[in-house]
Amino acid sequence: MTSTANLFTSTLASTIRGWSGIRARTDTARPLAMLQLYDIENCPFCRIVREVLTELDLDAEIYPCPKKGERFRPELAERGGKAQFPYLVDPNTGEEMYESMAIIEYLYQTYGGGDVPLRWRLGALQKFSSSLASGVRISRGMTALPASEPEELLELYSFEGSPFARPVRELLCQMEIPYILRSCGRSETNEWLPPKLRDALNIEPNSQLPNRLALLEKEGKQGIPYLYDPNTDEGLFESDDIIEYLKSQYGVNH
């Protein structure tokens, strides 16, 4: 079970970031081909890029590159010339780039209508705040753990600011398990209510976001995080259940 301290520091990390990476726009242009992001979960520079993925409601293939990782770090070093993170690949335009603020500007210009919000132009402030958020999580999600690699990419329905999804993403990073990040930010007022409270009040979420609608159709409810594994046809809500599943299914030393 996720410890109280784990959940507390995850919530604190989201609070330090002003709960960035929760609200999503519904008017962005979505690429035909999936974006690809070489990423370290607790890296402060990667975090702000993932926050923008949530804001722009963009999905991406995540290639985890923790310290001592042997799957995707060497691949990136060969591809881009150095093991520096984040690194974005956009097969729709052929663009590939390092540097978080350059990636954020590119995403807004390409898929967000061109205007970069003022707060994202304050790069030094964003990086400082994100570094503080990384500090409270210490080394979680940073160093590789032995794990087997699935044949097909897992799918994680998540939004960056979720304290419950963060421990799942950290473990996926440590296990070097690539996955499709299905962005599931909040676009409607009633989505800010916890799922159990919505159920108690008989409130139906009315999201306009494709991934939330797909999750509702698939499982009859919306909850974050949600992991789908096409290799086993397993679908799980609840971070503790997902973490236990990943360890039992793909962990080498569990």
CATH number of the domain enclosing 170: 3.40.30.10
Counted domains in the chain: 1
Q: What is the pLDDT of residue 130?
A: 96
Q: What is the pLDDT of residue 228?
A: 98
Domain range for residue 139? 4-250
Residue 1 scores a pLDDT above 60:
no
Q: What is the DSSP letter of 186?
A: B
Residue 195 scores a pLDDT above 70:
no
Question: Rounded to an integer, what is the distance from CA 77 to the centroid of its chain?
Answer: 22
Q: What is the mean predicted confidence (pLDDT) over 14-38?
A: 94
- Could you read off the pLDDT of 37-46 as tens digits, one per residue? 999 999 999 9
Name the range with the highest mean pLDDT among 55-64, 78-87, 184-193: 55-64
Residue 124 scores a pLDDT above 90:
yes
Amino acid at 163: P
Q: What is the mean predicted confidence (pLDDT) over 48-66?
A: 98
Sheet architecture: strand order including 60-64 = 95-97, 87-90, 35-39, 60-64, 179-183, 154-158, 226-229, 234-237
Q: What is the pLDDT of residue 138?
A: 86
Q: What is the mean predicted confidence (pLDDT) over 136-143?
A: 89
Q: What is the mean predicted confidence (pLDDT) over 102-117?
A: 95
Confidence of residue 199 (pLDDT cuts 50, 70, 90): confident
